[in-house]
Amino acid sequence: MADESGLEHHLADLAASGQRFAVPATAERIRARGDRLRRRKQAAAASGGVVLTAALAVGVLSLVRLGPGPAPAAVKPAASSTSRFVPPVPAPGEEYAGEIGYVYGAVLLEGDTVQVTVEQLRTGVVHKVTAPTHTPVEVKHLAGGKPGDMRLGELVGRLSAGPRWVFAVDYDGEGRIQSLREAFWLSVERDGQR
């Protein structure tokens, strides 16, 4: 029986040594997996912090204008209810967007504003817009062939008739007319008038 008990003792020692070597390996794998998870979480938190900081910076810059903005216009352009006209929007990095068309039918309104009809050259879309009388206008043929700067209020009489003069109309980002520039190279005779 001593042999049997010796064998049992020997087997018990072997099992105990196996457990000592097996348990630390399992514990080591669990510890390594935990370390990997912790490093991933730290990396995600760090990159998330960078992304969050960048998003906040972009958001703040888009909400806050750098420097003073343009003064609000007294009157916004009023498109007719049946018009397909949508004021052009400046391209990124551009201050103004424009359209080229016949400007006519000028009428002086109350509140120092002028309403004009614009017929786009490319599309033929006709719409009405209003602008302050002090809106700058670059002219040449309309002023008798002498290039110069005038104000829209000074040209109401000359622009009150039908389509005759072609202008480039500049709009700001909010759809307000900022200036008109006579496109004298495009001004053409209509109905034998000039």
Quote the pLDDT of residue 190: 44
Q: Is the dihedral of CA 51, 53, 57, 63 positive or negative?
A: positive
Cα–Cα distance, 172 to 194 (Å, whole number): 30
Residues with Cβ < 8 Å from 90, sequence gap 6 or more? 96, 97, 171, 172, 173
Quote the pLDDT of residue 113: 94
Q: What is the DSSP string of 118-163?
A: EEETTT--EEEEEEETT-EEEESGGGTS--EEEEGGGGTTTTSSSS
Quote the pLDDT of residue 144: 82
Q: What integer is the mean pLDDT of 166-170?
A: 92
Q: What is the DSSP letter of 112?
A: T
Could you tell me the pLDDT band of residue 32, with boundaries at 50, 70 and 90?
A: confident
pLDDT at position 25 over 80: no
Q: Has this prediction a pTM greater than 0.85?
A: no
Quote the pLDDT of residue 72: 52
Residues with Cβ < 8 Å from 57, sequence gap 6 or more? none
